Amino acid sequence: MTGIVVLGSTNMDLVAYVAHAPKRGETVTGREFRTIPGGKGANQAVAAARAARSGGDVAMIGAVGSDDFGVRLRQTLVSSGVDTEHLRTAEGPSGTAHIVVDHEGGNAIVVIPGANGTVTSLTPGDEARIAAADSLLLQLELPLTAVLDGAEAARRHGVRTVLTPAPAQPLPPELLAVTDLLVPNEHEAAILAGVADPHIAAEALLLQVPEVVITLGAAGCLYASRETEPFAVPAPRVRAVDTTAAGDTFVGALAVALGEGRPMQQALTWASTAAALCVQRHGASTSMPYRTEIDATETGAS
């Protein structure tokens, strides 16, 4: 086996669209309600499977609940071609994110980890699957013990670890010590480095990890490594309608391109094309592009 393993979360996003978010004690009537399969781990897995030559090259390790949401969360991954053999079904509720979106697009979110909280360590089978991969993609929506377990297993087997440090929080040095490529957005980079300027933040983060990509929304991304001079990659100029999962699409496509042996600059440009396609559509997994679209858009642009 080759390819990409994602060790991460699956959440059902329960989204209420309202004119104004209710204040404490207030009840408001909303406009619309949607249930959208998400979770940063699942989003990265779907993005990578769609960007890969064959979706079966992407496997997901994590857990869904034994409820109806769990069935749908698993189905969403399977229908994108993600291998779910190592996705457990934990007795109890799936992870949920309760999201209120107001008329200005602002949101307030409550995340309840549910089944994700049961993933505290890896099984021997999980480790064997990681060992057979090129890259392990990690985020911070599972218990840190599992994230650290996964990263250490990957390091033992010479598998590249790609960490998206979201939701933003200070990280234990042991985790950074086994991270090969750190991909924070601007906000996460500022929290980790303790400084807002992305160039200075990247330099500071290189003291802890060998390679960093800081994503900068519509401004593209900044790459820095211990080996080469830093460089920026601009984002394609597009009309963004919904930036949900832009970062996850970016990481999924980046891992695919690196796994195919493309040089970093080329891989980042391809990932930027994928993320720019994502922001022009609504939703999370619904907005992620397939490989053919990414290739066609990049060829059209050059």
Q: Integer distance in angstroms from the first to the last C-alpha of the chain?
A: 34
Q: Shortest Cβ distance from residue 291 to ligand ADP (Å)?
A: 17
Whole-angstrom distance, CA of residue 162 vs CA of residue 181: 5
134 versus 248: smaller Cβ distance to ligand ADP: 248
30 versus 217: smaller Cβ distance to ligand ADP: 217
Q: Shortest Cβ distance from residue 87 to ligand ADP (Å)?
A: 23
Q: Shortest Cβ distance from residue 285 to ligand ADP (Å)?
A: 14
Q: Which residue is nearest to ligand ADP (CB)?
A: 247
62 versus 220: smaller Cβ distance to ligand ADP: 220
**Residue given tokens 């090969």 in the structure block:** 180
Q: Shortest Cβ distance from residue 236 to ligand ADP (Å)?
A: 6
Residue of 134, 159, 125, 160 whose CA lies nearest to 1: 134
**Residue given tokens 């949920």 in the structure block:** 96
Q: Shortest Cβ distance from residue 248 to ligand ADP (Å)?
A: 7
Residues 6+ apart with CB under 8 A from 101: 15, 16, 17, 18, 107
Whole-angstrom distance, CA of residue 68 vs CA of residue 65: 8
User: Reduced to 3 states, what is the DSSP secondary structure of residue 219?
Assistant: helix
94 versus 287: smaller Cβ distance to ligand ADP: 287
Judge whether 21 and 102 are in contact, CB under 8 Å.
yes
Judge whether 179 and 163 are in contact, CB under 8 Å.
yes
Task: Report cis status (omega within 30 of 0) of the bond before 124.
Answer: no
Q: Shortest Cβ distance from residue 201 to ligand ADP (Å)?
A: 13
Task: Report cis status (omega within 30 of 0) of the bond before 167.
Answer: yes
248 has catalytic annotation = yes
In this structure, the number of other CB atoms found within 10 A of the CB of residue 30 comes to 16
93 versus 236: smaller Cβ distance to ligand ADP: 236
What is the residue type of 180? Answer: D
39 versus 247: smaller Cβ distance to ligand ADP: 247
Q: Which of 13, 126, 248, 295 is catalytic?
A: 248
Whole-angstrom distance, CA of residue 95 vs CA of residue 141: 10
Q: What angle do CA 171, 173, 177 make, to 5 degrees?
A: 115
Chain contacts with ligand ADP (rule: CB under 6 A): 185, 215-218, 220-221, 235-236, 238, 240, 243, 246-247, 250, 272, 275-276, 279
H or E element in which residue 7 lies: strand 4-7
Whole-angstrom distance, CA of residue 245 vs CA of residue 47: 9
Q: Which sequence positions are flagged as catalytic?
A: 248
